[in-house]
Structure 1
Amino acid sequence: MPQLVAPTPDLHSAWLEAHREWGTGPHEDGFGLGPSDDVDSPEGFAAWVTRLADECGPESVEAGQGCTYRWIVEGDRVHGGIALRYGLDDHVRQFGHIGYGIRPSSRRRGLATWALGQMVEEARTLGMERVLLVCAVDNLASVKTIERGGGVLEGIRDTEHGPARRYWIEIPYAIS
């Protein structure tokens, strides 16, 4: 059974295996990996994980900034990552509140749909009323995932990475 777990240095080897399968590029959305992050060495990996945790602190949530990162893990295997970004700054407008990526060998198992549902619930607990998701026009797997998760197409916009679909998922309040 998959789990969403906070990034941890304990998963260094498993994360590196997933990262190597992907290769480099922007398709690893959900991991918060920057171009200057050293993830190969244990020290660099631990520093990166610490940076991710710092972006998730209570001060960030209260300020409507930052991000919650989770890795999609099953046993000792990292299948992917998902991120919930707070606020509606320029970065969120371009990339969405939720971004995710599933490693190629773990796709077509429903992991992205499951993880998206979990993060929408997390957004609900934070009081968010709706979330924006953005994907490349030709990324049909993400289109299906987002639409299965309740995403409604706002439209298509040009971005620095090419045309992108913009979807909103409304988050109704829980009925008690």
Structure 2
Amino acid sequence: MPIALAAPSLSLFDPWAEAVTEYGDVHIHGAGLERGTVPDQQACEDFVAKAELYARPGAELPEGHVPCEYFWITDGPDVIGFIAFRRELNDWLRTYAGHIGYSVRPSRRREGVAGAALGLVLDRAREQGYDRVMLTCDDDNVGSARTIEGAGGEHVDTIDGSDAGHGPMRQYWITL
């Protein structure tokens, strides 16, 4: 089956829980979850509600948060990753995260999943009138750098990411 984007849904609870469990106790980029989230029914319900709120135009969001569309990357019935499209950039996002964050579950990496999902989100950004989007990755994350560059990303800077709990980070812009 081709890679697709699914809106977070309780109907995908089991494959979502399997994916989150596979990551273990790490931050899952693009998932919209706190590190260490236990993937139980309540966490899924809470996240689905969060995703619906953040996607609603004009919604009142917590201070410092921006409108965002969260997607679960799917392959048939399986959730194989996560990707978020932040429709605005605040100062922190402009420096450390960008418009789009993503991750692919460890057992499905190096299969082109991230590139396919990124392409689908870039299509959405174009449809919504964006001229360009920003992405970042850790300087030592060769796979993510290749994914971003393969989508047309232009490396514009490498910054000190220590304020965000990272080492050096690469900043990219993709012209749409």
- The question of a shared fold, defined as TM-score above 0.5 by the shorter chain, is answered with yes
Work out whether 1:50 is the aligned partner of 2:49.
yes
Alignment partner, residue 21 of structure 1: 22
Q: What displacement does 1:43 show? A: 2.8
How many equivalent residue pairs? Answer: 166
Given the alignment of the two structures, is residue 167 of structure 1 paired with residue 172 of structure 2, yes or no? yes
1:25 shift after superposition: 1.3
> What's the C-alpha RMSD, in Å, of the aligned pairs?
1.7
Q: Is the 8 A contact 2:86 2:100 kept in 1?
A: yes
Give, in whole Å, the separation in 1 of the partners of 2:158 and 2:122: 22
Partner AA of 1:170 in structure 2: T
Query: What pairs up with 1:32-47 in 2 under 5 angstroms?
Result: 32-35=32-35, 39-40=39-40, 42-47=41-46
Q: Counterpart amino acid of 2:43?
A: G
TM-score, structure 2 as length reference: 0.88
After TM superposition, what 4+ stretches of structure 1 lie above 4 angstroms from structure 2? 35-38
Q: How does 1:104-143 map to 2 (within 5 A)?
A: 104-143=106-145
Unpaired segments ≥5 residues, structure 2: 60-65
The letter of the residue matching 1:118 is: L
Partner SS for 1:88:
coil
Structure-1 residue corresponding to 2:80: 79
**Cross-structure match for 1:98:** 100
Q: What is the CA deviation profile of residues 26-60 of structure 1, one whole-angstrom value per residue up to 9, with x for unaligned ones? A: 2x1111112586532x1332122111111011225
Q: Verify the 8 A CA contact 1:38 1:48 in the aligned structure 2.
A: no
Long gaps (5+) in structure 1: 172-176
CA deviation digits over 1:70-125, x for unaligned, max 9? 11111221110111001120232121111100011111111110111111111112
8 Å contact from structure 2 (residues 25, 35) kept in 1: no
TM-score under structure 1 normalisation?
A: 0.88
**Cα gap change, 1:44/1:20 in structure 2, threshold over 3 Å: closer, same or farther?**
closer
The question of whether the paired residues in 2 share the 8 Å contact of 1:72 and 1:81 is answered with: yes
Tell me the SS of whatever aligns to 2:50.
Answer: helix
